[in-house]
Amino acid sequence: MVESLTEQATDVVVLGAGIVGVSAAYAIRARGLSVTLVDRKLPGEETSYGNAGILSSGSILPLNKPSLFSALPSYLTNQNAALRWDPTWTLRNIEWVLRFLANAVPSRVKPRATALHGLIGASLPLHRDWIVKAGVPERIRETGWLKVWRSDAVASAKAEQAALADYGIKSELLDRQAISALEPNILPVYKVGLLHTQTASVDSPGNVTKAYARMFDGTGGLIRQSEIRAIVPDGAGWRVVLGDGALSARHVVVALGPWSPDILRPLGYRVPMAFERGYHQEFKPNPARSLQRPIHDAEGSFLMTPMEQGVRVTSGVELTGRDAPSNFAQLAQVVPLARGVVEFGDAVAAPWRGARPTLPDSLPMIGPAPRHSGLWLAFGNQHIGFTTGPATGAAIAAMISGAQPPFDVGAFAPSRYL
Ligand SMILES: Cc1cc2nc3c(=O)[nH]c(=O)nc-3n(C[C@H](O)[C@H](O)[C@H](O)COP(=O)(O)OP(=O)(O)OC[C@H]3O[C@@H](n4cnc5c(N)ncnc54)[C@H](O)[C@@H]3O)c2cc1C
């Protein structure tokens, strides 16, 4: 149901209809509260549209881990497809960069991996359940995720396999022949592979988010398309100021992804968020050369996912301002590499750009704002927000209702930074 009233009182207003906000809205509604979900766009049209569609069981080690230090020299020239950085942005945000690096030391890896394992572990069953309930089970593929190396990187693959096994996450080590058997349509450029067998993927993250939004709508939730201008404490609750009216609610959930810090600044919260920007472009697939699963070329620094509209090639990280002009250099670097792996045709659309919202410890904020009652924060899901959206939303729903969240939310408390 698309909301059209200008003034509406509701139990909860959820700000942002990406995968996190849609998931929160659905999970809160499922607990019997009235919910209005607000976004200036239709659901799932920003970051939750353009990602690589991987529902990753194994992404428990964030980018800021010890191996980042050995990779740093290769980033200095700013030519590496894995990471480009804007010097001006870096100088202005040096505090964020140093905090991010400080979290990469060995002693800070395990607690964060354990926290992310809990979040991911709670999220994947929800995706598998919701995608069926939302009526789009055909959009999920249970074919795993294949990470591949061009060099003889058996030691790297085995180290990753062992790290995953510590958390009970299964994977299979593959040689060139086994890779070809699994993906017969790719050229034999890879020597080593690691198949994440418990990982799934979807053929359109935007459409999956829209399907979850329709499911929310079907339970009596309201969706309102409006610009969100401000949130203002109002008695025991909140007034949400929109471009075309206002809403009042007992609780407000901020799930604005990379835009979340903006709405919180006037309330005195300075969210230390950086934007790991990324690009994708989709290409006409050759039906005789199809891919069975997402492929991550570890040394080429790109991902390829078979999507509804074509082969989606996704680039690495660009550290710069959220709204800085696009720089397609990384995409230009990796698309020819991808073409050398599998045959595909012309681009089906212009390149897309998005921003992975990342806090210095690479953990999202999931929980209450420290100094305001009824204000809930759900953002910062970095590279794995599409995977972790459902459990992020379910945890917020539980906390609003005074129930136990489905995983240990301690490490995600907003108070660690605010
Ligand atoms: C290149 C790339 C590849 C990725 N690949 C994967 C992957 O394979 N698997 C995975 O799990 N994750 C992946 N991610 C990460 C994932 O996409 C994000 O973490 C996730 O989509 C964040 O979701 P969100 O709901 O927090 O934000 P968003 O989807 O951005 O939603 C925020 C919403 O807020 C709305 N909004 C903002 N400001 C306002 C305002 N003032 N008024 C009204 N509305 C507003 C926006 O319109 C938007 O709809 C990838 C990200 C990128 C960039």
Give the tens place of pLDDT for each residue, 60-90: 999 999 999 999 999 999 999 999 999 999 9
At residue 92, the pLDDT reads 97
Give the tens place of pLDDT for each residue, 192-214: 999 999 999 999 999 999 999 99
Asked whether 354 lines ligand 1 (CB < 6 A), one says: yes
Which residue's CA is the nearest one to ligand 1's atom 19?
Answer: 385
Ligand 1 atom showing the smallest separation from residue 209 Cα: 29
* Closest alpha carbon to 361 in 113, 92, 41, 186: 113
Q: Could you tell me the distance, in angstroms and rounded to a whole number, from the CA of residue 47 to the centre of ligand 1?
A: 3
At residue 9, the pLDDT reads 85
Asked whether 16 lines ligand 1 (CB < 6 A), one says: yes
Asked whether 390 lines ligand 1 (CB < 6 A), one says: no
Out of 256, 317, 358, 392, give the residue to mutate to test ligand 1, the one with the largest number of ligand atoms within 8 Å of its CB.
256
At residue 188, the pLDDT reads 94
Give the tens place of pLDDT for each residue, 93-104: 999 999 999 999
Asked whether 296 lines ligand 1 (CB < 6 A), one says: no
Count of alpha carbons within 13 angstroms of residue 261, beta-carbon side = 15
Residue 8 pLDDT > 70, yes or no?
no
Give the tens place of pLDDT for each residue, 19-35: 999 999 999 999 999 99
Counting residues of the chain whose pLDDT is more than 90, the rounded percentage is 98
Query: Residue 172: which pLDDT band, with cuts at 50, 70 and 90?
Result: very high
Mean pLDDT of the chain: 96
Give the tens place of pLDDT for each residue, 48-61: 999 999 999 999 99
User: What is the rounded CA–CA span in Å between residue 157 and residue 195?
Assistant: 10
Report, as an integer, the average pLDDT of 315-322: 97
Give the tens place of pLDDT for each residue, 388-401: 999 999 999 999 99
Counting residues of the chain whose pLDDT is more than 70, the rounded percentage is 98
Residue 4 pLDDT > 60, yes or no?
no
Q: Could you tell me the distance, in angstroms and rounded to a whole number, from the CA of residue 21 to the centre of ligand 1?
A: 10
Give the tens place of pLDDT for each residue, 337-352: 999 999 999 999 999 9
* Closest alpha carbon to 82 in 278, 249, 226: 278
Q: Could you tell me the distance, in angstroms and rounded to a whole number, from the CA of residue 126 to the centre of ligand 1?
A: 18
Residue 296 pLDDT > 50, yes or no?
yes
Out of 383, 392, 412, give the residue to mutate to test ligand 1, the one with the largest number of ligand atoms within 8 Å of its CB.
383
At residue 6, the pLDDT reads 45
3 state SS for the chain: CECCCCEEEEEEEEECCCHHHHHHHHHHHHCCCCEEEEECCCCCCCHHHHCCCEECCCCCCCCCCCHHHHHHHHHCCCCCCCEEECHHHHHHCHHHHHHHHHCCCHHHHHHHHHHHHHHHHHHHHHHHHHHHHCCCHHHEECCCEEEEECCCCHHHHHHHHHHHHCCCCCEEEEEHHHHHHHCCCCCCCCCEEEEECCCEEECCHHHHHHHHHHHHHHCCCEEEECCEEEEEEECCEEEEEECCEEEEEEEEEECCHHHHHHHHHHHCCCCCCEEEEEEEEEEEECHHHCCCCCEEECCCCEEEEECCCCEEEECCEEECCCCCCCCCHHHHHHHHHHHCCCCEEEECCCCEEEEEEECCCCCCEEEECCCCCCEEEEECCHHHHHHHHHHHHHHHHHHHCCCCCCCCCHHHCHHHCC
The residue type found at 247 is L
Q: Is the pTM of this model over 0.95?
A: yes
- Report the first-to-last Cα separation within the chain, whole angstroms: 36
The residue type found at 59 is S
